[in-house]
Amino acid sequence: MRSDLSSMLNIKKFVFDPSRLAGKRLLHGHVPTPTAQVRAKAALHPGALGLDTGCVYRHNPELAHLAALNLDTWELALVPNREPPIPSANVE
């Protein structure tokens, strides 16, 4: 078991080792992935699935969604970012 908090919070690349999970699945974030890729991978019910669809990147049409996964049905819900535009700092 990892005890290095910095690694657990910041690692972006890892090798998925299903033997360490005792039959459980790994769902994670912190690696923005296009919605089409997340949707395709979720359909396969993989052992590891990244659910970060880059909601904060509202100007990128491949991202800009909040993702939620129903763990009973594996139904993936994607909701577009609905933040209003940020006013420009160039106010006259």
Domain that holds residue 76: 26-80
The Cα–Cα gap between 54 and 61 comes to 10
Residue 50 lies in a domain: yes
**Predicted local confidence at residue 71, as pLDDT:** 93
Q: Does the CA dihedral 50-53-56-59 come out positive or negative?
A: positive
Q: What is the pTM of this model?
A: 0.77
Residue 6 CA to residue 3 CA, distance in Å, equals 9
Residue matched to tokens 């800009």: 64
Q: What's the pLDDT score for residue 92?
A: 56
Number of domains, the chain: 1
pLDDT in tens, 40-92: 999 999 999 999 999 999 999 999 999 999 999 999 999 999 988 777 766 55
Q: What is the pLDDT of residues 17-42, one digit of tens each?
A: 889 888 899 999 888 999 999 999 99
Whether residue 37 is contained in a domain is answered as: yes
Taking Cα atoms as reference points, which of 56, 55, 47 lies closest to residue 77?
A: 55
Task: Report yes or no on 76 lying in a domain.
Answer: yes
Q: How many CA atoms lie within 13 A of 61 on its CB side?
A: 0
